[in-house]
Structure 1
């Protein structure tokens, strides 16, 4: 399993559009094959910056999602709201304490 972190920065006036759409599609993303966890964070100092954290069983699962009609519709909508190029990382979790 690995973690996918995506940083997105939005035009301030587009944040409500993003959040409304995320509310609609979050369960679909979470239920994508191989997805085990999904969270959305907002930066405390810059309300235009958001992060998604998702856990994926395999890289193939993430690639299947990224090549799906669901991702295409999500990304087509979301990318129009950005005020900066998004950044993404795939990382392995080393330690987790609860």
Structure 2
């Protein structure tokens, strides 16, 4: 399990699902692709296991050094509070 980022914002896009920002750092050092398995741990200790559905293009008005991505529609924005930590799971973690 590898730490990716701490959630700064979540956008709920109708018909697509939630998009997590900032996203996977471009300098992460390994390829992260759609379908990658994630563990999200909230500040309260709740864990959400999910996967990346798609990488999204977001214009935040400044150069980005991360790739935001969306989650399955079944994952509710309310279960993804700001400050939650996002981890990439390896095959041994799944």
TM-score by length of 1: 0.32
Which protein has the bigger strand share?
Answer: 2
Which protein has the bigger helix share?
Answer: 1
TM-score by length of 2: 0.33
Asked which structure has the greater CA Rg, the reply is 1
